Amino acid sequence: KVERFHRTLTDAWAFGRFYSSEAARRKALPAWLHHYNHHRPHTATGGKPPIIRLTNVPGQYT
């Protein structure tokens, strides 16, 4: 899973678009990670984003 994530990270974030600088690339990372974890469908979770598998989110339980 780690190797697959690294490949997706490389293909979709690092080299998936043109960045004018390394600083711009780094600035885009948090938004890409949010999209990857909260919005992008994954086959391992039945087409849902990985966040649905997270069970220890602070404030989730009352």
pTM score of the predicted model = 0.78
More confident residue, 28 or 56: 28
Confidence of residue 62 (pLDDT cuts 50, 70, 90): low
Burial of residue 49 (number of CB atoms within 10 Å: 0-12, 13-18, 19+) = middle
Confidence of residue 14 (pLDDT cuts 50, 70, 90): very high
The CA–CA distances, whole Å, from 16 to 7, 20, 54 equal 11, 13, 27
Q: Which of 1-5, 6-10, 55-59 has the highest mean pLDDT?
A: 6-10
